[in-house]
Amino acid sequence: MFKVFKAKKEKCRICKKESEYISGFLSLCLDCIRREPSKALKIGENLHLKARDQIGLFSGEGSDGVGCDRCAVNCNITEGEKGYCGLLKNESGRLVREFGTSQKAVGVWYHNPHPTNCVPSWCCPGSTGSGHPRFAKTPEGDLGYRNAAVFLGSCSSHCLYCQNTDWHDMASSCEPLLKKDELVSKIVQDGSITCLCWFGGSPEPQAPFVYEVSKSILDEIEKDRIFRICLEINGNFNWGQLEKIAKLSLKSGGGIKFDLKAWDKNLYRVLTGVDSKEVYKNFKRLNKFNVKREQPPFLRASTLLLPGYIDLEEISNIAAFISEVDTSIPYSLLSYAPAYKLDDLPATKKDFALTAKNVAENQGLENVNIGNIHLLQ
């Protein structure tokens, strides 16, 4: 359940400005995050550490630890400590990973009827019929068929406004478990399933499982069966892992949706706790696959319209970046509902969402959508 918002002005601890669009948890305004980054980043870092400690997750940082390159967080894990994802540990100078391997993952899965409620459903074959007959059952989509949704209990970022916090308990407890052979068998045997969507949390820390399950299913299903591999990610991927998965997704008719959370690098870090550099690099890298298939669109993007922090300047810059990559890439502007540590912020206003859509289109984007319309105020 999302929290009902009650307007209350909070004060920025740097400039002392008051506004209902300043989070009480952060106590930082957007202007100070941009203009006083050294102060804002220090405050943000401490808040993330405290919040992660409350849910049993770690920093993944150490001065004399062992490096991990499974995702783009690039942890340096001190002996006896766990990594940022919580799925591996430094034991006597050796990284030991029990979960997120090729055989086991922390997560759950379930069925969704088509059209599904995934973020890019407005442009995917299961909902629109895009790519029919090769990638969709009918010109209208896969009505009557189902999507296998795999929610992974891990993430390579820590968004203070996370809309799917179930992964917190899953990552800290490392349960429930998914087993590769069981998952592959159930999906292969169920002919009503036409696509597999990996989300969470986010797939990055458990990429080997994503790849092996996806590859095994595609290897085992009947040659003429429509079966798409899709991902919803934050993009903070190890490129080698992402490239392997992208090849499977492209071949299957699926796609990869990036959540481009913010443009300003300091704002991105304050909101998510991690760096944005590899996210935007990976998005551009994936365009080499995107240009190989016109329909259905392979590369997709979204941004959550977080009031007070994701303003029109952020949307304009993100849209300009996407447009430079490819103007046809679908971009969804998602309405925000109060959640997690920033639950004292209001929901997205309808007028702002409509203006943001115009701003994105003015940067040359041809396919811009407003998502979660029911949440708009």
**Domain CATH number, residue 201:** 3.20.20.70
The CB-side HSE value for 303 (13 A sphere, CA atoms) comes to 29
Report yes or no on 292 lying in a domain. yes
Report yes or no on 85 lying in a domain. no
Check if the beta carbon of residue 333 is closer than 8 Å to that of residue 353: yes
**What pLDDT, on a 0 to 100 scale, did the predictor assign at position 356?**
98
Report yes or no on 30 lying in a domain. no
Report yes or no on 358 lying in a domain. yes
Report yes or no on 72 lying in a domain. no
Report yes or no on 48 lying in a domain. no
Q: Which residues constitute the domain of residue 120?
A: 104-375
- 264: CB partners within 8 A, 6+ apart: 33, 34, 314, 317
Check if the beta carbon of residue 153 is closer than 8 Å to that of residue 200: yes
Report yes or no on 70 lying in a domain. no
Residue 151 identity:
F
**What pLDDT, on a 0 to 100 scale, did the predictor assign at position 118?**
86
**What pLDDT, on a 0 to 100 scale, did the predictor assign at position 1?**
46
DSSP code, position 71: B
Helix axis angle for 350-362 and 312-325, nearest 10°, is 40
- 133: CB partners within 8 A, 6+ apart: none
What are phi and psi for residue 10, nearest 5 degrees? Answer: -115, 160
Rounded CA separation 371/135 (Å): 24
What are phi and psi for residue 161, nearest 5 degrees? Answer: -120, 25
The CB-side HSE value for 106 (13 A sphere, CA atoms) comes to 27
Q: Which parts of the chain have pLDDT scores under 70?
A: 1-7, 62-63
Report yes or no on 163 lying in a domain. yes
**What pLDDT, on a 0 to 100 scale, did the predictor assign at position 7?**
66
Q: Looking at the 3D structure of the chain, how many domains does it have? A: 1
